[in-house]
Copies of this chain bind each other. A is one copy, B any other.
């Protein structure tokens, strides 16, 4: 048994090594399954030479699978005009990226035999060459457009395995695709890669009401899982703006964070197991359902956030917390960014276990929302404030939680951390508060084409970036949303 295990691990490392070389040498693309909304699912986080540079020029590169895409090496952001590390003429407009690089001649070109073979594996219906290809060839922002001539819709792990095995043997490039909601082009082809879309693998396999452990296929839509769990009295530990379209496999492949990251932790903590098909078709079964599993190396973590570049995620096992019934929301104003930071620390300390959201926006973001969305109003008007913070608590006991939040707000007012504030009195008011914060990307979209980047920076430095960006970009609108230690930067 031990020998078998050793052999298995050795084989995996050999494969990983070979795969990574293959990926580099051939620019083999397997990184899609991106989740939409930009939010934590796509992101900018990019570190040159394995050290994160916490400075503005670090913004120059959208995050991509590191070597899996030719596009990854190109800074699509240079249009903005401030990524000084890159020559301005390298990438003038969206859509031109593919033109910058050569399709490797090592890759085969799809032929009719290939298509026939895929039809044998998947059946006629799930080998798509019609107008549905158009949507699959482009991201929802239409920033990236590929020219794939084939979209495959596998229904099982076995089918995924057979597809990849065949593509590997024929040297056909592939790109895995989930909800295709990503913002960094990870889920669309660069050239004529075969698209493997996971949409048909959407079964919930099991749910254990004692432990809260959900096992499902990778193509399950996040919102469907949220509803499913809600009926069982549980919640998904992640939530994204794109939940209506993004798939759990893509969420895991991109290590999506989203709105619940701080309360429930990252997917590295919540994903208990994965089933993955490697580039050569081998199925790696790491589908554990134990809270703690220290048996051997925890290889599944390599796939979380690997953007599909190491394999296609086919099944996910995830730990879900019980649903709590009491939710309270406050909308507050702060004078300066330092007060916002202090407020976060105080909230963590005083609200502790019930704190479920801490969302930040500034007056520019507020104006964008008020000017572009209908039926919204600033609950703290008529006074103009510099910064706004939304705080949400979630707990088991309505009255206690509310009292605790009120006490915290009074204390913060007295100490001068907040200059104004209001507590939602009913569900409508709570929704209205959330609408302001969630309306930021939507209202920007109405005002123009939006560039959207996830940031992972120390909290104290996040706002410097906005200030510097505004100085550099002049009249273009620069807006940020920050929640806890995460932020999105947007501009039009």
Contacts and interface: CB of A to CB of B under 8 A. Distances in A.
Contacts of A266: 269, 291-292
Nearest to A60: B1
Contacts of A45: 290, 292-295
A296 interface: yes
A456 B6 contact: no
Contacts of A67: 2, 5-6, 9
Q: What band does the interface of chain A fall in when counting residues whose beta carbon is under 8 Å from B?
A: 35 or more
A195 interface: no
A374 interface: no
Interface string A342-375: 0011001111111000000000000000000000
Given A294-B456, A295-B45, A298-B304, A24 B10 contact: yes
B341 A353 contact: no
Interface string A288-331: 11111111111101101110001000000000011010000000
Most buried by B among A268, A299, A345, A458: A268
B404 A211 contact: no
B48 A5 contact: yes
Contacts of A341: 210
A438 B17 CA distance: 46
Interface in A257-280: 257, 261-262, 265-266, 268-270
Contacts of A73: 2-3
A295 B16 contact: no
Given A296-B50, A296-B66, A458 B352 contact: no
Contact of A301 (B21, B48, B301): B301
A298 B118 CA distance: 34
B2 A456 contact: no
A52 to B, nearest CB: 6
Nearest to A484: B291
Contact of A400 (B40, B265, B400): B400
A221 B354 CA distance: 31
A50 B268 contact: no
A63 B295 contact: yes
B301 A306 contact: no
Nearest to A272: B266
A278 B163 CA distance: 36
Given A13-B20, A324-B353, A353-B324, A294 B5 contact: no
A155 interface: no
Interface in A381-410: 394-397, 400, 403-404
A6 B322 CA distance: 42
B349 A233 contact: yes
Interface of A: 1-6, 8-10, 13-14, 16-17, 20-21, 24, 40, 43, 45-52, 63, 66-67, 72-73, 85, 208-212, 233, 254-255, 257, 261-262, 265-266, 268-270, 285-286, 288-299, 301-302, 304-306, 310, 321-322, 324, 341, 344-345, 348-354, 394-397, 400, 403-404, 454, 456-460, 484-486
22 contacts: A2-B66, A4-B49, A5-B48, A5-B50, A46-B295, A51-B285, A52-B293, A63-B294, A209-B345, A255-B292, A268-B268, A269-B269, A292-B486, A298-B304, A299-B302, A322-B348, A322-B349, A352-B395, A352-B396, A396-B404, A397-B404, A400-B404
Given A9-B20, A51-B285, A400-B403, 9 more contacts: A1-B48, A6-B67, A261-B291, A266-B292, A298-B301, A301-B301, A321-B348, A353-B394, A396-B404
